[in-house]
Structure 1
């Protein structure tokens, strides 16, 4: 099962348009786009639509980058997604996560910071119930406003969807796992 990257001879204007929101022109090619995008562009219209949403979460979200990456790492762990884990561990370090923070995302309950533990618990709650309890919503509201909490919920949902896609399509971590594409 799975999908291989789109062959280089099939990279056309539609693929270029699909990647334009995420990558600069010099990276819109099979050698530099990375494994995930090279597979996703097998469906350029879907990729283009999805990347609009994903670009918001990565670059325009009201959620602090460090917390976003912590949440994504918990999703990656819960969904057993190697690609997402390796990619976002690097991005998390760039956003200020320590090795201990990253390990806490793997083993919930071990985060040194109380709010980090709440964020990880909230990811678990969304994963298990597809909703946050009133108690968790209110607790997140001690530090996050409504827009940040909305971005949080959509971040968890988006990366759960990506983990399902990456795992189903068999997308392996990039050879340069540990790099930050952004």
Structure 2
């Protein structure tokens, strides 16, 4: 059970109810947002930053999802993994490639750019400071704005994973599992 109550739309200030409407999936708002809505101004700011990162990180949707899924793995975030497996599949990622994120260093499913990105994501999540070689490898393959985008995207989802864990936010539906069954 989540550590904070799930907020309802009626509990939000009138001027922020549009945030609820924009983030409803079907008729429901995901549990992460119902928890964040305990502070509606921060929830709105979180969504604005997240949307900016999603749309302007310099990555195509499938590669963006690789970054998010790898970050979920590194933080053992079942909630983020669960949500982004679905989004990754919609972006064209195969189950084999998604599962290979667990052992990307030995997988032949990732191209040179993806490998440089994943190496960078691992370094950011391990120490917060990628070594010069890791940074230079990525910077040689992508634009400077994309390096910024990858860095902030993995940091954002690391923060999100910590929020979900500390608030004990439950999944909306059965967990897809760490290893997918095709």
Q: How does the TM-score come out when normalised to structure 1?
A: 0.83
How far, CA to CA, are the matches of 2:77 and 2:107 in structure 1? 21
* Within-5 A mapping of 1:1-182: 2-7=3-8, 9-19=10-20, 23=22, 27=24, 31-112=27-108, 113-115=110-112, 116-175=114-173
RMSD: 2.4
Q: Alpha carbons of 1:78 and 1:155: their partners in 2 closer, same or farther (altered >3 Å)?
A: same
C-alpha separation in 2, matches of 1:69 and 1:168: 23
**Number of corresponding residues:** 173
Which whole-Å CA distance do the structure 2 matches of 1:58 and 1:177 have between them?
24
Please list the CA deviations of residues 106-145 of structure 1 after superposition, one character each: whole Å capped at 9, or x if unmatched. 2332332243333222111111121122211221123310
C-alpha displacement at 1:94, in angstroms? 1.6
Structure 2: distance between partners of 1:14 and 1:170: 28
In the TM superposition, what whole-angstrom CA distance separates every residue of 1:1-21 from its partner, at most 9, and x where no partner exists?
Answer: 72231145424425415446x
Work out the CA distance in 1 between the residues paired with 2:142 and 2:157. 20
CA offsets per residue over residues 10-65 of structure 1, 9 Å max, x none? 24425415446xx26xx389x41111111111100111111111011122332222
CA contact under 8 A between 1:84 and 1:163: conserved in structure 2?
A: yes
User: 1:154 and 1:55, CA in 2 relative to 1: closer, same or farther beyond 3 A?
Assistant: same
Q: Which moved more, 1:145-154 or 1:114-123?
A: 114-123
* Conservation of the 8 A alpha-carbon contact between 2:73 and 2:81: yes
Contact residue 57 and residue 148 of structure 2 kept, 8 A: no
User: After alignment, is 105-114 or 152-161 more displaced?
Assistant: 105-114
1:59/1:114 Cα in 2 relative to 1: closer, same or farther (>3 Å)? closer
